[in-house]
Chain A
Amino acid sequence: MLRWLQDYPHFLEWAYRLTHHLFIWLDPLMRRIGYGRVDRWLRPLEEAGKRSVFDCQMCGQCVLHSTGMTCPMTCPKNLRNGPCGGVRANGHCEVIPEMKCIWVAAYERSQKMPIFGPEMILLQPPVNRQLEGSSAWVNMLTGADRQTPLGWIKKD
Chain B
Amino acid sequence: MKPETLFKSDGRLERVLRSGRFAVTAELNPPDSADPQEVYDAALVLSSVCDAINATDASGANCHMSSVAICALLTRAGYAPILQVSCRDRNRIAIQGDVLGAAAMGVCNVLCLTGDDVTVGDQPQAKRVFDLDSIQLLRTIKIMRDEGVFLSGRKLTVPPRLFLGAAENPFVPPYDWRPLRLAKKMEAGADFIQTQYCFDLPRFRQFMAQVRDLGLHEKLFILVGVGPLRSEKTAEFMRTKVPGVIIPDEIVNRLRHTPGPRKREEGKQICIEIIQQVREIEGVAGVHVMAYRQEELVAEIIEEAGLLPRPLRIGFIAPDPLRRLRKSQEDPPPFDPEP
Instruction: Give chain A's interface residues, CB within 8 Å of chain B.
Output: 76-89, 91, 94-95, 101, 103-104, 107-108, 120-121, 123-127, 129, 149-152, 155
A145 CB → nearest B CB, Å: 16
Our pick among B117, B136, B140, B150 for the contact of A124 (Cβ within 8 Å) is B136
Q: Complex Cα distance A107/B132, Å?
A: 21
Q: Complex Cα distance A151/B96, Å?
A: 13
B183 at the interface (CB under 8 A from A): yes
Contact A126 B151 (CB under 8 A): yes
B236 at the interface (CB under 8 A from A): no
CB proximity to A under 8 Å, residues B146-160: 147, 149-154
Known contacts A82-B184, A85-B167, A85-B168; is-contact A151 B130 (Cβ 8 Å): no
Contact A79 B143 (CB under 8 A): no
B169 at the interface (CB under 8 A from A): yes
Our pick among A77, A89, A121, A124 for the contact of B173 (Cβ within 8 Å) is A89
Interface of A (DSSP majority class): loop
Residues of A within 8 A of B122 (CB): none
Contact A87 B143 (CB under 8 A): no
Contact B136 A82 (CB under 8 A): no
Q: Which one of B2-10, B26-34, B35-43, B174-182 is at the interface?
A: B174-182
Contact B130 A79 (CB under 8 A): yes
Known contacts A81-B133, A87-B172; is-contact A123 B244 (Cβ 8 Å): no
What are 15 A-B interface contacts by the 8 Å CB criterion?
Answer: A76-B128, A79-B114, A79-B133, A82-B181, A82-B184, A85-B244, A86-B243, A87-B173, A123-B184, A123-B188, A126-B131, A126-B132, A126-B136, A150-B153, A152-B143
Number of A-B contacts (CB under 8 A): 115
Residues of A within 8 A of B133 (CB): 77-81
B235 CB → nearest A CB, Å: 14
Chain A residue with Cβ nearest B188: A123
* Max count, chain A CB within 10 A of own CB: residue among B135, B150, B246: B135
Contact A152 B174 (CB under 8 A): no
Known contacts A89-B246, A94-B243; is-contact A121 B136 (Cβ 8 Å): no
Chain B residue with Cβ nearest A89: B246
Residues of B within 8 A of A107 (CB): 174, 176-177
Contact A91 B174 (CB under 8 A): yes
Q: Complex Cα distance A101/B243, Å?
A: 13
Contact B174 A78 (CB under 8 A): no
Contact B187 A86 (CB under 8 A): no
Q: Complex Cα distance A87/B171, Å?
A: 9
Chain B residue with Cβ nearest A149: B151
Q: Mark B81-103, 1 if CB is under 8 A from A, else 0.
A: 00000011000100000000000
Q: Complex Cα distance A91/B132, Å?
A: 23
Known contacts A85-B244, A94-B243, A126-B136; is-contact A151 B177 (Cβ 8 Å): no
Our pick among B130, B135, B147 for the contact of A77 (Cβ within 8 Å) is B130
